[in-house]
Amino acid sequence: MGWKEAAEPVLTRMPAVRRPEGHVPFKRKLAWTAGILMLYFFLTNITLLGLSGEGSDLFGEFRAILAGEMGSLLQVGIGPIVTASIVLQLLGGANLLGLDTDDPRDQVLYQGLQKLLVIVMTALTALPMVFAGGGFLPAQQQLALGGLNLDHTGVQVLMFVQIFIGGILILYMDEVVSKWGVGSGIGLFIIAGVSQRLVTGLVQPSEPGFFYNWYQIIVGEVQVGSIVAGNGLHTILLGEGQLIALLTTLLIFGIVVYAESVRVEIPLSHARVKGARGRFPVKLIYASVLPMILVRALQANIQFIGQIMYSQLGNGGIPDVLGVYNSQAQPVSGFFYYLAPIYSPSDWMWWTGDISQATWMVLARIGIDMTFMIVGGAVFAIFWVETTDMGPEATAKQIQNSGMQIPGFRQNVGVIEKVMERYIPQVTVIGGALVGLLAVWANMLGTIGSISGTGLLLAVSITYKLYEEIAEEQLMEMHPMMRQMFGKE
């Protein structure tokens, strides 16, 4: 008996959101999407019962892409979903699962296995946050709950249960949006988190609000100093003025929107309907920016392991080659330091005197971060294309099944696949590497609201694709026959 036969009784019985039996009207899709979005914001504002103090955030700068909120029911965010996707993509890429995604039975097994992995990852992520100590999620010593008087361990168990339930809720919220709403839940939650930070970074009436800071500069409450001889230029560009951060934010918006419009269009014609023509677009960012979630999540998990080791063993228990941590529990040397992403200009501008590391260590960290993001972006983009049926073989089958063909070539799946192989693999690698480079560049220069470069890239790209999907839904709502052409009926 293979693993599929042994696991089938469990995987096929995993709870799932029922698919709509027919066409879901556009207004109803918008209602479901808006409802889930409101529920998401509601859950991020529910503080964990039994939490004592603020604690330290293990994921810190990764919050923008993990779409959770520290100390809330959605403490783990989409982290377990992304980690499970990484595991499945690696196993699928190595062909260790033996699942054929074209087989309906194997599709059910794949979806069940993904949910089971998410449940396991949610538990594995929540356990050290609550029980490892180190001030991550400090629990109250005692708590009276109804007729129960919980001791410290009981409060920790209660907090773990809450985080676990929140992780399961976000899994099924994502499934509701994917089946009944517009876009995907993961994308929607990322947009919500990044947009909230961006708006807050612009308009909050306190530091580091962009407009508030400039109000203080204009009325003289913040002394800029001499632009020529003093540090006035640094204050305006990188300090309270945040002009570099504003320019970087605007440039990321412009570059991503432009890159989404850059494409190679392969002409198509219908085999039976004379004059019926079309084009298959191969965009520069063909795999989208979503594979960046996988790259950053891998880095987040590495840093997560380092934080847990430091909290339990301290600097004396960790070999120096792995990492040395400062009083703020941040790595200052070793493996975990070099693999820590560049978050802001203060992490690499060694000439300002704010960095204790040697110049060569800072340069090595920049080089490793850039290499990790560029290579990781290209590799995960390839995995993403192959596992989401966007590769040459799957695309050729889709074109063949639609009755279209490439003018001047025989109507054959193998021929169409060879034409697609000229473009899709190369564009996938180039696009993935470009997105990785943009993410590091945005982090190095900083952004409004201290959003990570990856988070901003994801938000802009997902918003653009959501706009395209809404336009497509409206078109199909106005012309019902289009649903059959797009395979939505």
Within a domain: 282 = yes
- Regarding whether 286 and 239 lie in a shared domain, the answer is yes
Phi then psi for 431, rounded to 5 degrees? -65, -45
- Regarding whether 201 and 165 lie in a shared domain, the answer is no
- Cα 130 to its chain centre, rounded Å, is 24
Structural domain for 100, as ranges: 43-181
> Domain boundary residue among 181, 207, 230?
181
> Domain boundary residue among 122, 155, 181?
181
| Higher-confidence position of 331 and 455 | 331
- Regarding whether 402 and 334 lie in a shared domain, the answer is yes
- Regarding whether 329 and 404 lie in a shared domain, the answer is yes
Within a domain: 325 = yes
Within a domain: 11 = no
- Regarding whether 160 and 61 lie in a shared domain, the answer is yes
Does residue 456 register a pLDDT over 80?
yes
Q: Three-state DSSP class for 150?
A: strand
Give residue 134's pLDDT band: very low, low, confident or very high (50, 70, 90): low
pLDDT of residue 372: 93
> Whole-angstrom Cα distance, residue 435 to residue 416?
28
Could you give the percent of the chain with pLDDT greater than 70?
A: 93
pLDDT, mean over the chain: 84
- Regarding whether 459 and 359 lie in a shared domain, the answer is yes
pLDDT of residue 271: 67
Q: How many domains does the chain have?
A: 2
User: Mind listing the pLDDT tens digit for each residue in 334-389?
Assistant: 999 999 988 888 888 888 777 888 999 999 999 999 999 999 999 989 888 887 77
Within a domain: 61 = yes
Give me 69's structure tokens. Answer: 């909120």
User: Mind listing the pLDDT tens digit for each residue in 397-427?
Assistant: 888 887 778 887 777 888 888 988 989 999 9
Within a domain: 168 = yes
Location of structure tokens 């040397």: 333
- Regarding whether 251 and 122 lie in a shared domain, the answer is no
Within a domain: 190 = no
- Regarding whether 319 and 252 lie in a shared domain, the answer is yes
Within a domain: 481 = yes
Within a domain: 192 = no
pLDDT of residue 228: 56
Location of structure tokens 């799946």: 413
- Regarding whether 290 and 158 lie in a shared domain, the answer is no
> Domain boundary residue among 147, 181, 215?
181
- Regarding whether 389 and 318 lie in a shared domain, the answer is yes
Q: Positive or negative CA dihedral for 363, 284, 380, 488? A: positive
Does residue 484 register a pLDDT over 80?
no
